[in-house]
Amino acid sequence: MRVASLGRASAILGAGTLVSRITGLVRTFVLILALGNVGAAAADAFSIANQLPNNIYAIISTGLLTGVILPQIVKAAKHDDGGSAFVSKLLTLGSVALLVVTALAVVAAPLFVALYGSLLDEATFALTVAFAYWCLPQVLFYGLYALFGEVLNARRIFGPYTWAPIINNVVSIIGFIIFMVVFGTQKDSIGWTPAMVAVMGGTATFGIIAQAAILMMFWRRTGLDVKLDFHWRGMGLREIGRLAGWTFLMVVVGQIAGLVQTAIVGEASGQSASVASMGYAWVVFILPYSVIAYSIGTPYFTQLAEHAAAGRLEDVRHDLDASIRTLGVFMVAALAAVVAAIVPLSRILTESTSDAYAFAWVLAGYLVGLVPLAVLFVIQRTFYAYHDTFNPFLFTLVQSVIAVVTTLIAFEVLPPEFLAAGIALGQSLGALIQLAMAIWLLRRKLGPLHLGPAAASIGRFMIAAVPATAAGWGLYVFSGAADGWMMRDGLDAIIATMVVGAVSLVVYVLALAVLRTPELAVGTAFVRRILRRGRS
């Protein structure tokens, strides 16, 4: 893939993911208005229930589809029919499997809630089960969205998969507003009627249905002639199963860690930052990660998979170096801006200054792992390009064990008001160790990776981030900090976040220029592409 093509694909993905995540933030803000945040038991109940289909979907998408199926689709494109037969079998098999899994999940709803909400009080537990019955059908439509989306990505049709979640966010925003208009804000887990549960849970599920359906509008662009095909023999299920076996275990151990984290932090439900706060903090954390890592990394991964299949190791090393550098210059910029504005940003999503600080500690815990996760995004998909799912299982297992151990430690030594923050920090520390192990394993597999220059670039970015963060934080302190105008209400906090973030980014760019960082030119070119696309 040419550099220009990578740039155009990244611009499409970057713009789509940015809009998607911004509307996702709006969705989160409206949800907080409806159910609350810190100390809101109803928000914790909805967060657990609505996360259940995501957890099951993670096994399908993050593991099997992205890691195993996409390279198979790329390989099948070389067949005489362009891969139509393989994709027909794949979609038929996937749809049948999704129907079965979804049905089993709905039946097992109380069991799932018992696993994730073991420390919830009786009323919150019952409300979570009621939400779960409405939310778990999302598994089917998450899976269909992932199946169709990965086929589109493999055919180099990158835009629709990225833009489709916007539909989900819009549907959710409308539904949550309707809930508030009809029922008002409901933070407690007591007093919920079947109609209230139906509006909240049904809104969440209908949004996912719309997200999957919109992809069908772009299917003709694949050029594939797809039909139902139940003759699955000969499509390489044994090879796919071998690869997916380790991937399945990898995602399972990650889900076990998430289960322990959710169950333990439930101890703080109704008191301080708990399940909902961790979920909202993750939404903020994942915004820069998904916009930058996904938009830049996905085109590189498609190219890297082609280079790996052709045995061009030097090109693979070049892809690794280029993607890490490009990801790094943006990711560190986002880190500096978010850290500088972390308190007013948290005030947007909370009702008081004290709640804002409680939420900020949770977000800070996650942010420690922002840059390592971005680099890991590239390393992990390099293993996938070589059809290696065993090594990703190994370093994910290590990260999950660390996450579980640190969660248990946090439960023993931290008071409820810092429990969520301690769990988030433990997850990030695990990610740091996971990245180091992943690089070591990849070097054993491919030989020298020549990542020294990329590491030096990350170092320069971090140096530039120091004055950038200090400038933004200094502006917050100069305004009066907790007693200043930035923390008076949500509107002032929005303005403050924009001002502090903008100051940090300007100082970051100036610092990169002083350090004569070559990646600055790449970054500004990428931003110009997105702006041009936005005006077109």
Please give the pLDDT value at position 287: 84
- The region, left, alpha or beta by phi > 0 then psi within -120 to 50, assigned to residue 136 is alpha
pLDDT at position 117, please? Answer: 92
Q: Structure tokens of 494?
A: 């929005």
What local confidence, expressed as pLDDT, does residue 164 receive? 85
Cβ-Cβ contacts under 8 Å for 93 (sequence gap 6 or more): 232, 235
Nearest-angstrom CA–CA distance, 383 and 66: 12
Q: Is the pLDDT of residue 413 over 50?
A: yes
162 CB-near residues (< 8 Å, 6+ apart): 12, 13, 16, 17, 20, 294, 295
pLDDT above 90 for 499: yes
Which has the minimum average pLDDT: 134-138, 317-321, 530-534?
530-534
Q: Say if residue 455's pLDDT is above 70.
A: yes
Q: Supply 370's token pair.
A: 């922002």
- Reported as a single tens digit per residue, the pLDDT across 19-51 is 877 898 899 999 999 999 998 999 999 999 999
Give the chain's mean pLDDT.
Answer: 86
**What pLDDT shows up at residue 1?**
45
How far is residue 31's CA from residue 135's CA, in Å, rounded to a whole number?
15
Alpha-carbon distance 346 to 352, whole Å? 10
Residue 83: predicted pLDDT: 61
If one counts every other C-beta atom within 10 angstroms of the C-beta of residue 491, the result is 9
Q: The tokens of 303 are what?
A: 């190219």
Q: According to the per-residue pLDDT averaged within each range, which of 7-11, 62-66, 520-524 is highest?
A: 520-524
Mean pLDDT for the stretch of residues 131-154 = 86
Taking only the tens place, the pLDDT of each residue in 176-231 is 999 999 999 999 999 999 999 999 999 999 999 999 998 888 777 666 666 676 66
Average pLDDT, integer, range 291-314: 77
Burial class (CB in 10 A: 0-12, 13-18, 19+), 403: buried
Minimum mean pLDDT range among 8-22, 48-62, 248-262, 406-420: 8-22
- Higher-confidence residue of 283 and 84: namely 283
pLDDT value of position 427: 95
Tell me which of 56 and 227 has the higher pLDDT: 56
Report the distance separating Cα 486 and Cα 172, nearest Å.
29
pLDDT the model gives residue 215 = 86
- Please state the rounded mean pLDDT for residues 81-88: 66
More confident residue, 227 or 269: 269
Specify whether the CB–CB gap between 84 and 154 falls below 8 A.
no
Sequence-separated (6 or more) residues with CB below 8 Å from residue 359: 37, 38, 273, 277, 280, 281, 346, 349, 350
Whether residue 234 has pLDDT greater than 90: no
Judge whether residue 62 has pLDDT over 60: no
pLDDT at 478: 94
Q: Which two tokens stand for residue 428?
A: 């990030």
Q: Could you count the other beta carbons within 10 Å of the beta carbon of residue 467?
A: 17
Q: Which residues of 296-309 are buried (b: 16+ CB within 10 A; e: fewer)?
A: bbbbbbbbbbbbbe
Q: What is d(CA 157, CA 170) in angstroms, rounded to the nearest whole number?
A: 23
Average pLDDT (491-507) is 96
Report whether 336 contacts 504 (CB < 8 A).
yes
Q: Which residues of 130-160 are buried (b: 16+ CB within 10 A; e: fewer)?
A: bbbbbbbbbbbbbbbbbbbbbbbbbbebbbb
Rounded-to-integer distance, Cα 430 and Cα 421, Å? 14
Residue 33, token pair as written in the block: 């208005």
Closest CA to 226 of 148, 163, 158, 150: 148
Whether residue 498 has pLDDT greater than 50:
yes
Please count the other Cβ atoms lying within 10 Å of the Cβ belonging to residue 387. 18
Give the residue-averaged pLDDT of 115-119.
Answer: 91
SS3 assignment for 478-497 = HCCHHHCHHHCCHHHHHHHH
Residues 6+ apart with CB under 8 A from 3: none
**What is the rounded CA–CA span in Å between residue 465 and residue 468?**
5
Which of 481, 495, 269, 485 is CA-nearest to residue 360? 481
> Of 88-92, 200-204, 435-439, which gets the smallest average pLDDT?
88-92
Rounded mean pLDDT, 412-430: 95
Give the model's pLDDT for residue 302: 72
pLDDT at 468: 97
At 272, which helix (H) or strand (E)?
Answer: none
